[in-house]
Amino acid sequence: MSTSKGFASSHNRAALLFLSPAFLLIAAFVAYPVVYAGWLSLFRWDGASAPVFQGAGNFVRLAGDPIFWRALGRNLLVALSAMVFQVFLALCIAYCLVRIVPAFSRIFLFFYLVPVMVSEICIGLLWRFMYNPYFGLVNAAFGALGLDGLKRGWLGESGTAFSAVVVVMSFTYLGLYVLLFVAAVRSVPESVYEAAEIDGAGHFTKFFSITIPMVGDAVRANSLLAIIGSLKTFSLVFVLTNGGPNHASEVVSTYLYKMGFGSFEMGYAATIGFTQMLLTAIGAWLVFRYLKRAGVGGRT
């Protein structure tokens, strides 16, 4: 661009003006509260009486709090399962919709997106029926298959509660990734597939050696989206098990909610959220550094 200096600075000023409302809103209600959470994590506070300065006390307590670390571990398990049962499964479904049954892709996509549109509270309440120990459909299905030994109170037993929640998450968020991958798979030029077909490649070969490499950017973007979503997860866990029984399905968000608004340990609740955010940031930084060194994430 051949612009004079005055022209460029007027653009600078205009850009700043247009951005300022967004900047103010985010600064006041996102950035400031996050920093404030760091400050509050230095205090013991019940939310009503005067806060008591603790120094690093909350962090020491958190470091030795097995419930927090198990909850954080479950967030990571949610992310891992999201990679397999949301991102990878969605890519498989998207390939089938675009390459094998394109005439039906629109109607399938519509139905896959239904749970994405509906409130997680509604979905969670409905799945409480599916998992009901007395008349639930999950138990009925096992009964019909002659597997009566597998019948149980899925959400009420500590051995199955977390897995049961993860299954609901997979069904609920899958559609978003199907949508994103359908768009990506459609953008792969037909000629690439035709060349492979001349060599006699089947769908399996085409999926792994053409589609996956060609939609690499979408795979990276959607994986990132799934991981971020998994670290944020709250509503479904809250309504299905509220982290129970006995913390067996606790994730960071439900633990924070209980600490802050059940036990009124506001300082400790702030510590939980702030620490998770710090750990996420450090984790992200390490991953990106590793990817950069390995030369993988070049284009993102």
Partner 1 sequence: MGAVRRWTVTNTVVLVLLTLHVLLVVFPFIWMIYSTFKTNKEFMRSVWSFPRSFSLDAYVGAWSGGALGGYAVNSLLIMAGATIITVVVATLAGYALAVYRPRWMPAVELGLTAAMAIPAYVALVPLVVMLRGAGLLDTHMGVVLPTAAFNVPVTIFIMQAFFNTLPRELFDAARMDGASEWSIFARVALPIARPAMFTAAIVNMIWVWNDFLFPVVFINSPARKTLPVGLTDFVGEHITNYPVMLAAILFAAIAPLVLFIFFERQITAALLGGAVKE
Measure the CA–CA gap between 255 and 71, rounded to whole angstroms: 8
Find the binding residues for partner 1 in span 146-185 (CB under 8 A): 171, 174-176, 179-180, 183
Mask of contacts with partner 1, 118-147, x by CB under 8 A? xxxxxx-xxx-xx----x-x--x-------
Tokens 């492979």 correspond to what residue?
Answer: 196
Residue number, 37 or 166, with CB nearest to partner 1:
37
Question: By C-beta, is 16 or 159 nearer to partner 1?
Answer: 16
Stretch that binds partner 1, among 77-85, 96-104, 145-153, 291-299 (CB under 8 A): 96-104
Quote the least distance from Cβ 168 to partner 1, whole Å.
9
Window 250 to 289, contacts with partner 1 (CB under 8 A): 252-253, 256-257, 260-261, 266, 269-270, 273-274, 276-277, 280, 284
Choose which of 52, 63, 84, 101 interacts with partner 1 (CB under 8 A): 101
Distance of alpha carbon 92 from alpha carbon 212, whole angstroms: 10
Site for partner 1 in 196-255 (CB under 8 A): 203, 221-222, 224-225, 228, 231-232, 234-235, 238-239, 252-253
Alpha helices (runs of H) in the chain, residue ranges in sequence order: 5-26, 32-40, 57-63, 66-82, 89-95, 105-117, 120-130, 137-144, 161-186, 190-198, 203-206, 212-214, 216-232, 235-240, 252-261, 266-294
Cα(72)–Cα(280) distance, rounded to whole angstroms? 10
Instruction: Report the site for partner 1 in 19-78 (rule: CB under 8 A).
Output: 19, 21-23, 25-26, 28-34, 36-37, 40, 47
Beta-carbon neighbour count of residue 282 at 10 Å? 10
Verify binding: residue 100, partner 1, rule CB under 8 A.
Answer: yes
As a dihedral over the C-alpha atoms of residue 198, residue 199, residue 202, residue 207, rounded to 10 degrees, the angle is: -100
